[in-house]
């Protein structure tokens, strides 16, 4: 026996810990074949999902546990469960209604004979419903045995499947463990406890809930109290009131900065004669992205002008331009800083995840509390939603620069600044521009939402079209928003498409 085979067997022993010779033989047979090799693991078949949890193969453990729980629930429901409880609850409610209607009928007989016939029809209809639900309950009860038999068959099948595939799955896990020893092979005390307790809790409470619906009222609704929510709301409102009062100067400074950029761009795009704007944008697009893009941009601008969207399109362009410009100016330096400081990036990454995943209507609330409604708040909301891709992709691009190129530049005496500006950023530029593109596109997605808080522009036309079901106006304005985004994208990225 070669040293390599001995070493491999020692590794298997360290991994499986129990019944080592059995697993050595099966792992060798599975590893030497490209097809499925039949083997049956009795322990996995008997313990089921608990065995996979003990072996720390949680993806399979959870999948099998769901199927096992369903099978056990069906068995208990079929043999012992109150499967007709829902039907009898409906019968009780209807009988209570019938009793009430009979009292009304008696009162009508004494005081209002004209309504007697109506009440009699209602009572007859309700009594018919009771008989129907009673027949349904009897049918459900009669099917209980078959439900249980189906659960037994499913339980047996899933246990056989687990026994047949357990060794193959464990061998695959062993291969992963060989390449990454930080993975836990399982068979530790915590795996026994977690797998056993978790499976017991899932199966026990699922069985009680579905088989005996009225046995534990606490499982119907989460136990809570209205005061918890009211106190939480009061606490959040108090915190925001405090921040608004104490941070007034900070918020005013931010508003002034954004307003300055926004007013400048609006003055440029809205107040300047249209022929100057069209000439400048077409020329800029042509220099940046080529003659074909210049022709497209001229067509886009003509579309906006002829359909009467010019002023609103320029307002939207100023809003998008402000949000995208500030996002890029802040995002690229922040990404450069994060690329060399992993700890800081690990700190702000959850914040960026929060900014991207939180619905826009939710973080609109604190922005309005701090900055009020209007275009400044719309720019801030757009920056929150669309500003993170440029940071992420700047970090990704800079970290993807080949280390050999950087070492060669350092060997020739490149300073840190030269290395950053002449080596790292140029090589990472395609990825950075992809981040810019994503920022522009996500900013575009906020145009309609921003119109809800007074941003105006093309988003207002789309919003009005939604309110009044004006299909034509909505489609035309939506296309105009798309053209605004394409103009920004072509000007920013130019020919460097990725």
| pLDDT of the residue at 62 | 93
Neighbours of 105 (CB within 10 A): 18
Please tell me whether residue 134 adopts helix, strand or coil conformation. helix
DSSP state, 114? G
- Distance of CA 265 to CAs 277, 317, 321, 482, Å? 12, 8, 8, 19
* Residues 36 and 28: beta-carbon distance below 8 Å: no
Provide DSSP, 215-282: S-GGGTS----HHHHHHHHHHHHHHHHHHHHHTHHHHHHHHHHHHHHHHHHHIIIIIS-HHHHHHHHH
Give residue-wise pLDDT tens across range 263-289.
888 888 878 888 888 888 888 888 877
Tokens representing 218 are 């606490």
| pLDDT of the residue at 498 | 38
Q: What is the pTM of this model?
A: 0.66
| pLDDT of the residue at 494 | 62
Domains plus CATH for the chain? 1-223 (no CATH), 244-493 (1.10.3720.10)
Cα–Cα distance, 432 to 338 (Å, whole number): 14
369-398 residues labelled b (16+ CB within 10 A) or e (exposed): ebbeebbbbbbbbbbbbbbbbbbbbbbbbb
The H or E element that residue 79 is part of is helix 58-79
Task: Tell which phi-psi region holds residue 490, choosing left (phi > 0), alpha (psi between -120 and 50) or beta.
Answer: alpha
CA-nearest of 370, 378, 344 to 448 is 378
Task: Tell which phi-psi region holds residue 71, choosing left (phi > 0), alpha (psi between -120 and 50) or beta.
Answer: alpha
| pLDDT of the residue at 65 | 93
Tokens representing 79 are 């043999």
* Residues 82 and 231: beta-carbon distance below 8 Å: no
Mean pLDDT per 10-residue interval, the chain, length 498 residues: 64 87 88 86 93 92 93 86 70 79 76 74 79 73 82 94 93 89 86 91 87 72 80 87 83 86 82 85 82 85 86 83 86 89 89 82 81 83 85 90 85 82 86 85 76 76 78 84 78 57
Tokens representing 28 are 């060798």
| pLDDT of the residue at 162 | 95
Cα–Cα distance, 385 to 382 (Å, whole number): 5
Cα–Cα distance, 354 to 331 (Å, whole number): 16
């Amino acid at each position: 026996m070669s040293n390599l085979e001995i070493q491999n067997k020692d590794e298997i022993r360290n991994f499986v810990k129990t019944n080592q010779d059995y697993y050595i033989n099966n792992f060798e047979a599975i590893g030497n074949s490209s097809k499925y090799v039949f083997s049956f693991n009795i322990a996995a078949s008997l313990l089921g999902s608990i065995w996979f949890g003990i072996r720390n193969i949680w993806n399979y453990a959870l999948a099998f546990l769901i199927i096992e729980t369903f099978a056990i629930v069906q068995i208990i429901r079929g043999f012992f469960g109150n499967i007709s409880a829902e039907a009898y609850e409906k019968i009780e409610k209807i009988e209570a209604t019938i009793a009430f209607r009979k009292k009304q009928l008696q009162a009508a007989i004494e005081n209002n004979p004209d309504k007697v016939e109506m009440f009699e029809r209602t009572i007859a209809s309700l009594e018919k419903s009771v008989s129907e639900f009673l027949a349904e309950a009897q049918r459900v009860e009669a099917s209980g045995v078959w439900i249980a038999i189906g659960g037994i068959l499913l339980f047996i099948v899933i246990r056989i499947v687990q026994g047949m595939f357990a060794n193959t799955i464990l061998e695959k896990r062993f291969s992963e463990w060989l390449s990454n020893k930080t993975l836990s092979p399982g068979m530790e005390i915590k795996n026994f406890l977690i797998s056993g307790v978790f499976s017991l809790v899932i199966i026990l409470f699922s069985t009680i809930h579905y088989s005996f619906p009225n046995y534990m009222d606490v499982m119907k609704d989460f136990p809570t109290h209205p005061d918890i929510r009211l106190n939480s709301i009061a606490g959040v409102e108090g915190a925001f009131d405090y921040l608004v009062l104490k941070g007034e100067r900070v918020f005013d400074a931010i508003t002034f900065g954004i307003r300055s950029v926004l007013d400048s761009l609006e003055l440029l795009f809205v107040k300047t004669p249209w022929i100057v704007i069209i000439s400048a944008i077409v020329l800029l697009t042509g220099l940046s992205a080529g003659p074909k893009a210049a022709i497209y941009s001229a067509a886009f601008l003509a579309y906006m002008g002829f359909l009467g969207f010019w002023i609103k399109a320029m307002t939207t362009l100023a809003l998008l331009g402000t949000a995208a410009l500030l996002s890029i100016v802040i995002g690229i330096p922040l990404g450069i800083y994060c690329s060399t400081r992993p700890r800081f990036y690990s700190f702000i990454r959850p914040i960026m995840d929060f900014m991207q995943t939180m619905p826009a209507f939710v973080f609109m609330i604190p922005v309005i509390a701090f900055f009020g409604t209007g275009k400044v708040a719309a720019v801030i909301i757009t920056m929150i939603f669309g500003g993170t891709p440029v940071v992420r992709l700047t970090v990704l691009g800079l970290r993807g620069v080949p280390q050999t190129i950087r070492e060669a530049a350092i060997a020739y005496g490149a300073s840190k600044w030269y290395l950053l500006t002449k080596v790292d950023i140029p090589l990472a530029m395609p990825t950075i521009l992809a981040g810019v593109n994503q920022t522009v596109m996500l900013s575009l997605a906020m145009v309609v939402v921003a119109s809800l808080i007074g941003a105006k522009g093309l988003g207002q036309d789309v919003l009005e079209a939604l309110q009044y079901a004006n299909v034509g106006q909505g489609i035309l304005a939506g296309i105009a928003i798309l053209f605004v985004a394409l103009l920004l994208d072509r000007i920013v990225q130019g020919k460097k498409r990725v």
